[in-house]
Amino acid sequence: MIHRPKSIWQGEWKIRKQGKEKKCICRKLHLAVDMSTYEIIAAETSLISVGDNEVLPTLLNPL
């Protein structure tokens, strides 16, 4: 009887070698830019699930 080695997918190999992988949380960066000077007027970060229309009032508030 022939025994074949168990194939390991890349993620499993990484976990075995380096330990448990940390979960990444994606974020968006929303910018308000003055188009004449290209100066950043306001910036806001949010979770990836938050839409641009929800952040727009916050960006325009300082103006």
Query: Phi, psi at residue 51, to the nearest 5°?
Result: -80, 160
Classify 29 as helix, strand or coil.
strand
Quick: pLDDT tens for 24-50: 778 899 999 999 999 999 999 999 889
For the chain, the domains span 23-60
Question: What is the model's pLDDT at position 17?
Answer: 66
- Report the percentage of the chain scoring pLDDT > 90: 37
Closest CA to 45 of 60, 31, 29: 29
Cβ atoms of 30 and 55 within 8 Å: the answer is: yes
